[in-house]
Structure 1
Amino acid sequence: MSRTAITLLLLIVTLLVSPASFAVPYWGEKQSSPVDTPIDQLPPGAWIWGGDNRHAGPMAVVVSLTEQRAYVYRNGILIGVTSISTGREGYETPTGVFTVLQKDKDHYSNLYGNAPMPYQQRLTWDGVALHAGGLPGYPESHGCVHLPTEFARLLFDASNLGMTVVVAEAGQAPISVVHPGPLSPIDAHTGSGVEIPLLDSGSSWRWAMDPPSEGPVSMVLSRSDRLIVVYRNGVEIGRSRVEIGSPDRVTGTRAYIVEGHFHPPPARESDEMPLRTLPMPTWIAIGVPGYESTAGHPVSTSLVNQVVVPDGFKRKVLPLLEPGTVLVATDAHLTAENSGEPIRVIDSVGPRSWLDDAVTLPPSAADR
């Protein structure tokens, strides 16, 4: 055989055995479970992704080694949760605060026989990363955090370099981080834990002394707690008690967005003018997994007026509302330790489809 033929044969063999020539496995479910699926009942490989908008604020991920689940937050609001598999004995996934150092959609391991690690997001330079991988229902990796393939893709597409990832374990972190709830238990910018204090006795609402002056706004309404919390650029800036006229009229996890023609009043005007003369937004329901068939309607005035907020709080919120502002309503308590109920994942932005007839909290004529 000629030298040219041998060279060609070797080249063909090299191509045939290259990593790219192997079929990459697919791990986990291909579609999101409904948003109201109890998180503690997600089987291995199952996940929930409620929707996302890259412009809606900072993103952060909390990995609970104790639960073998990962939680994704955007602008303080839970938008996704998934079953995971972390490091087995002898290869334990390290705890702590990390940032995404590198992203590689088609990564192959340099340490473990060119094993495929799709949608890799590197947390350490010595081999710990988030990526799609096996999900047997218990820790079995070599230290990485294995995710379902489709969830890993969604997270990869939504995240940026530098995204904060906190890995926590019982006994080494607060319960709010080990067992996260609908509100982010960490600061998306630093990864440090944040306190989520209750309102003082006798106080109906509070507002931050020096809130961020820029950044997207999002809100979470808990029907169970009768409480609304407002975030701006990932930081809580206010919370208030609410009254709900018919709390059982609509239940479950629902998300809403301010329609595109609303013009918020200036802050000074909001403080000085009667509330009845100020512009009020129209809220549009956002479709989430499990409620897609009810897509596309504005929330009725009668439902809007079911939710009552103090006038002072409403005057603070109104100037911040603009097209794209999101409100999520949930039956869940806002902190996991306050409830014996399973925490429900809540949706963020992404008006790909729509829902009708849902209780929401815009400032209303009835004054939450």
Structure 2
Amino acid sequence: MTTRRLTCSLALALLFATTASAQTPSSVDGRIEQLKPGEYLWAPEIAPAGPVTVIVSLATQKAYAYRNGVAIGVSTVSTGSDGHATPTGVFTVLQKDVDHVSNLYKDAAMPFMQRLTWGGIAMHAGNLPGYPASHGCIRLPPAFAKLLFGITRLGITVVITQDARVPVVAAKPGMLTSAGSAGGDFVWNPALSPKGPVSIVISGRDKRVVVLRNGIEIGSGAIAFDAPIERTAAFTLQSIDADGEHWLRLPLPGDPRTGELTAEDRAKGHLAEGFRAALATVTTPGTTLLVTRETLASAGTGTPVTIIEATGQ
């Protein structure tokens, strides 16, 4: 199976359109959809620094890498075969190992391994036959696996979705604005995990917010919505300045929206003031927010949804 790195200029043409046209990667010329097994695009110069997020689409068999809210790479993948399904949900990178060898599958080599669960699910270099063929792991082209390994750190967020339309990421989410309409009850105990990357998960069906740091739940509370959650969406906090927090939406296949959320969208979700204020004490650049229409108890089909494992067993 071949791998190749396209030149930066070509990657730019394929991955990104001009800001004015607000096109998504797939709308540039269709090359992302046409990637063959083992091929990838890589243009890290577009966003040389900032928090990294990885989104894996089981439906399209592709992985999307974002840095500082900007798409810098997309790759073909091979995920779990029948009987070995790759779990969907929100994960953090728990462990990294350049020369990892599996202790579950006959000492199989797993170069550039980035562990997502303690049960054996990871991203790593491997064979890409053009269809799901792994025991649940996310196989990447060897060259792409090495490149991705080089820009990630422990605790970054990885979202795995079954949807062909991959989750998105945005600007100051209205889900985090205060209002008296939300319930006043919430739990807040940041001492359970004093430092590390923060992820916030919101369930539209549960009307609940869960806050995790290093994969450990440090808080949860109620949220009220002005309108139903129609699709899964993810948001990453790029920066905080005098104008407030700046959350970026990722330009994803099938979704033409880019930039920051409108004031109208920001006002659709409401938290109790005390909970909103508590959240503000832990949100820093790199914080990830996932909004899902599903319950956190199941994926709507009785299948458990993984919402981040702790960094220690």
Give the TM-score of the pair, scaled to structure 1. Answer: 0.43
Cα deviation digits, residues 261-289 of structure 1 (max 9, x gap): xxxxxxxxxxxxxxxxxxxxxxxxxxxxx
**Match in the other structure for 2:51:** 58
Q: Distance in 2 between matches of 1:218 and 1:162?
A: 19
Cα deviation digits, residues 315-345 of structure 1 (max 9, x gap): xxxxxxxxxxxxxxxxxxxxxxxxxxxxxxx
Aligned positions, number: 182
Question: Residue 61 of structure 2: which of 60, 68, 79 is its match?
Answer: 68
Question: Residue 48 of structure 1: which of 36, 41, 57 is its match?
Answer: 41
Question: Residue 97 of structure 2: which of 92, 104, 119 is its match?
Answer: 104
Q: Distance in 1 between matches of 2:56 and 2:256?
A: 28
> Which amino acid is the alignment partner of residue 29 of structure 1?
T
Matched-pair contact (CA < 8 Å) for 1:28–1:135: no
* Alpha-carbon offset, residue 194 of structure 1: 3.8
> Which amino acid is the alignment partner of residue 83 of structure 2?
G
Question: Residue 210 of structure 1: which of 244, 249, 252 is its match?
Answer: 244
Matched-pair contact (CA < 8 Å) for 2:170–2:261: no
Cα deviation digits, residues 8-40 of structure 1 (max 9, x gap): xxxxxxxxxxxxxxxxxxx54142363134210
Matched-pair contact (CA < 8 Å) for 2:170–2:249: no
Q: Distance in 1 between matches of 2:140 and 2:127?
A: 8
**Distance 1:191-1:53 versus aligned 2 partners, 3 A rule:** farther
**Match in the other structure for 1:129:** 122
> Which amino acid is the alignment partner of residue 134 of structure 2?
S
What secondary structure, in the 3-state scheme, does the structure 1 residue paired with 2:6 have?
Answer: coil
What secondary structure, in the 3-state scheme, does the structure 2 residue paired with 1:156 have?
Answer: helix
Q: Distance in 2 between matches of 1:93 and 1:100?
A: 15
Which blocks of at least 5 consecutive residues in structure 2 are unaligned?
A: 15-30, 174-196, 202-232, 264-313
Q: Distance in 2 between matches of 1:226 and 1:167?
A: 21
Q: Distance in 2 between matches of 1:146 and 1:69?
A: 10
Which blocks of at least 5 consecutive residues in structure 1 are unaligned?
A: 1-26, 197-206, 230-235, 240-368
Question: Residue 165 of structure 1: which of 140, 154, 158 is its match?
Answer: 158
**Distance 1:220-1:69 versus aligned 2 partners, 3 A rule:** closer
What secondary structure, in the 3-state scheme, does the structure 2 residue paired with 1:157 have?
Answer: helix
Give the TM-score of the pair, scaled to structure 2. Answer: 0.50
More strand by share: 2
**Match in the other structure for 2:6:** 32
Cα deviation digits, residues 201-237 of structure 1 (max 9, x gap): xxxxxx996326xxxx99999xxx99983xxxxxx48
Q: Distance in 1 between matches of 2:137 and 2:63?
A: 13
2:109 pairs with 1:116: yes
**Match in the other structure for 2:199:** 190
Cα deviation digits, residues 89-143 of structure 1 (max 9, x gap): 0000000000000000001111111111100000001100000011011000000
Cα deviation digits, residues 115-174 of structure 1 (max 9, x gap): 111000000011000000110110000000000001000000100000100000039xxx
What secondary structure, in the 3-state scheme, does the structure 2 residue paired with 1:40 have?
Answer: coil
Q: Distance in 1 between matches of 2:132 and 2:64?
A: 17
Matched-pair contact (CA < 8 Å) for 1:97–1:191: no
State the superposition RMSD in angstroms: 3.8
Greater gyration radius: 1
**Match in the other structure for 1:84:** 77
